[in-house]
Amino acid sequence: MQEPKLLGSWLETARERAGAFKILLYLVLAALVVLNFFIVPHEPEFATEKLPGFWALFALAGTVVMVVVLKKIVYPMLAQPEEDTNDRS
């Protein structure tokens, strides 16, 4: 089946405008944190949840620590040469 060409070229244009998407992401993230000052859980499941920005920090710190520890420390210890040279269908 043929993939739609128009959609493909639209995605190609979108890629060229990656800078604009980046600014949009920052704006959305800022808006979410601002909203978090007004919207807090009624019955917090975790004590720290009442602090605005807690989950933002949790996700950011979680990602950064996970990537650094796993890629820089754990990965070199676990990596072995690839055995399968035949991942071809």
CA distance 30 to 10: 27
Contact residues toward another protein (CB under 8 A) are 1-4, 7-9, 11-12, 15, 22, 25, 28-29, 32-33, 35-36, 39-42, 45-46, 49, 55-60, 62-64, 66-68, 70-72, 74-75, 77-84, 86-89
- Nearer of residues 20 and 33 to another protein, judged by Cβ: 33
Rounded least distance, CB 51 to another protein, Å = 12
Taking each helix axis from N to C terminus, what angle separates 54-67 and 18-38, rounded to the nearest 10 degrees?
A: 130
